[in-house]
Amino acid sequence: METLNVATLDVATLCDQVMVCPRCKRLSMAAGAAELCPVDGHAPVPRSVRRAHPSDDLLGRVLDDRYALVDVLDASQQTYIAVQLATGRKVALRVARSGQAGGEWSGMRVYEEMRRSAELTSPASVTCHDAGDCQGLTYAVFELLRGRTLAQVVAISGPFSAARVHHIALQLLHALREAHALGLDHGDLGPDRVLLVDQPFHENRVKVLGFGLARMDRPHVHPDAAGDLVALGHLLAFLLTGAAAGAARDETERLGGPLAALVARATAAEPAQRFASAFEMDRALRAITPGTTLPLAHGPTRSPASTRRPAPLRLVGRLRRARPHMTDILVGASALLVGGLLTLATLPSQAAGGAPPPASAQVLVARG
């Protein structure tokens, strides 16, 4: 194990560096790469993690001699942070016990679902790296993401603006279009299944969690594409209003606007009135520009007195102030033109010995 100079570390940092084997309780210091306990072959985990999950019997387990479970990502979904031993890369690993999955959700079934999930290339879909069946556990391996679910963000910040909902909906439909074309349905789409990713320079980037995993939790559920679109409609209503599922649709109808009409169609009681596919819903959404949906929710407003004078009015004012100078220029140009014409008209008569031009014409040219 790696040794650290304790004298150079503060107490908080030192505590974070202490690792414990979940099985034999052996203490060690954190190393740069994943190292297994020399006593029992388990993976040491941070001591703080073990204290937070004292009864979790999967922490420290190594699956298929490849993935070491070193932290809990979501206890309710049995999702862990794992280290791929060959590369040291951290991944998200979702597990289901054999008794829990059971029935039709067998190891072969999870392989089939995960193979299709691995074909997803949409930026809004989570990348699936691997899947397996080991030690009575069925597991799936995904890219590790950081962020908050849409449910968490709305709980903290309130409803989203229509423009923000429009942007997120386009991403979600992109993911659904591709997944449905591959015959892969979600079956559990909701605000707690969409992650707003912490990613520099990419605000409002979302990722759909759980493609192919609905039956891992509920073996007798049969997801379908039509159900995904209805769930998306309820999700958009929730983002617009922040209301619970039962009241969100009514609140959205009260707001009105093209986006509210799209939500109403997606969640219509009669299946014949809903969108026939993700492609159709995507076309309807793209026909709505963010500026023509709903006003920005909870956005700042300006009073008429504080509103600046529009640019066209300022331009007109400038033209009015400049008008006397322009008038002098136009009068002078007109005088030159008239004087020139009169001079040309008198040239033949002067050549024949005629009289000079009238005095009034000479004065007019002089003024020009």
CA distance 281 to 284: 5
What's the confidence (pLDDT) of residue 339?
58
Q: Which domains does the chain have, with CATH numbers?
A: 6-143 (3.30.200.20), 147-299 (1.10.510.10)
Q: 186 pLDDT exceeds 80? A: yes
Mean pLDDT, the chain, whole residue set: 76
pTM of the entire predicted model: 0.68
Top pLDDT among 102 and 43 is at: 43
Q: Interhelix angle for 258-266 vs 225-241, to 10°?
A: 140
pLDDT exceeds cutoff 60 at 205: yes
**pLDDT for 302:** 37
pLDDT in tens, 300-331: 333 334 334 444 444 344 434 444 455 455 54
* pLDDT band with cut points at 50, 70 and 90 for residue 334: low
Query: Is the distance from CB of 105 to CB of 97 less than 8 angstroms?
Result: no
pLDDT at 347 over 80: no
Distance CA 61, CA 52 (A): 17
Least confident among 254-258, 285-289, 299-303, 359-363 = 299-303
pLDDT band at 195 (very low <50, low <70, confident <90, very high): very high
CA–CA separation, 229 and 265 (whole Å): 10
Gap between the Cα atoms of 79 and 141, Å rounded: 10
143-152, 209-218, 253-262, 330-339, range with the lowest pLDDT: 330-339
Amino acid 192: pLDDT: 92
Which whole-number Å values give the CA distances from 115 to 109, 110, 123, 185, 356, in the listed order? 10, 8, 18, 13, 104
Q: What angle do CA 128, 131, 134 make, to 5 degrees?
A: 155
In this prediction, residue 187 has a pLDDT band, given cuts at 50, 70 and 90, of confident
pLDDT at residue 2 greater than cutoff 70: no
Q: What is the pLDDT of residues 77-104, one digit of tens each?
A: 889 999 999 999 999 998 887 655 444 4
Q: Is the pLDDT confidence value at 15 over 80?
A: no
Q: What percent of the chain has pLDDT over 90?
A: 37
Choose from 97-101, 172-176, 330-334 the range with maximum mean pLDDT.
172-176
